[in-house]
Structure 1
Amino acid sequence: MKSYTVTQVARRTGITVRTLHHYEAEGLLLPARRSEKGYRLYEAAELRRLQHVLALKALGFSLAEIRQCLADAAPSLDAVLRQQIVRLREVIMRQSKLLERIEAVANTAERGGMIDAETLLSSIEASIMMEQYFTDEQQAFLRKRRQEIGPERIKEMKEAWRPMIPAFAKALKEKRDPREADVQALAHRWLDVVRGITPAEDAAASQAMKGALNEALEKEAPTLAKRLDIDLDVFQYICAALKPLRS
């Protein structure tokens, strides 16, 4: 039976000798035998196995998974492929979300917006935060609302908040209870600026959105305060004043 040295296999397959040695160390591809001089020799069965290894690797399987697939007690092909389908769907989802982030930054650049490291990192940070607290449907809704509102209106909203911040800071400094009537009146004014951001036409969806917003505000206060350029203690006080109105 014809046999091939590791160098010959490497030359004919385009795989490096180092890779073939690694496959051997991983227990994936053992030589059929050794020559009198100690050279590794591969025969037809080993070349077929190498073909299987390369095919599974091309499908994204790890070496450990390939070894399991090729074992005598390997799971059924259907089960293995189903596992890979789940993994690939997860990869596709991550790549799709990455694409959305890059497109968002590219759109900003196209409109003449400043793109620097801080802008890029803030965009990615915001996207990751959205994924943690909002469902895909809620994220799609918020993106749609943001597009409908437009950058100018969002800028106006931030400007409308700006004069209220010193009033909240003053109330905090005076150690006023955020549930006091005049602080709540200020909170009402703050909330009126963004009224309509939740889908009021669907009570269940609106409630779920509020829940996600509340959780994000509580857990991501430092990040959000920095993005809005508000002192953290003041931002947390504002959130405490808003909480009765967001429940």
Structure 2
Amino acid sequence: MKVGELAAATGLTVRTLHHWEERGLVVPSARTHSGHRVYDDGDVRRVYQVVALRELGLPLDAIGELLVSGAFGAVLAAHLEQVDTRLAALQSLRRTLAGVVERLRHTPDPAPSDVLRLMDEVSRVNETFAQYFTPEQVAELQERRTDGEATAAEWPGLIEAVRAEMDAGTDPSEPRVQALAARWAELLAAFHRGDPELGERLNRMRTENAAEVSAAGGPDQAMIDYIGRTGKVG
């Protein structure tokens, strides 16, 4: 596969794959006569290894050292364990929420014990956030959230404006949609500050938790696709 095909197949960006190549993590096995990168099956497996190890919270330097050993089975086992932990946390939270919702059918307010239990369950689920990012990236995101409150306040209005254009059937090439998309791209860039690794992780977290993001007022996949057709947002 060429780099664009690999990016499309994996959900990564071309920029991220180039970054990993620069770090020596995934170097394409060959190039065409015109200089285009070509990835074989082994390269694809290596991409998966990097993705899995990043989800486990390892920095790129540590990943490079581990990949030298070729311990692919160990990577798969660790990834499976992480996924099982995530699923268990979400299933536990769902059971708790379902129980509270059922009890609220008979009483107007939740019992203090229900509230405390929910807080505990939500805390456990929130811990999975760290599984998408390294500790350094979590700290950086927290700092950016604090420093960028004014910018973050723009998102609800921007999302509402984009949804209105989408619902109205406005073509993404229209100037007003192009302007909204340009601001969308600016806000994203201001948040991850051009870090392709961090941007990719944020996008993956949104994709894997699409229902929760949408329920909290964030963009759904239809909106992401719509804004992507403007050519302003990668």
What is the TM-score when the length of structure 1 is the normalising length? 0.38
In our comparison, the structure showing a higher alpha carbon Rg is 1
Give the structure, 1 or 2, with the largest relative contact order (CA under 8 Å, sep 6 or more): 2
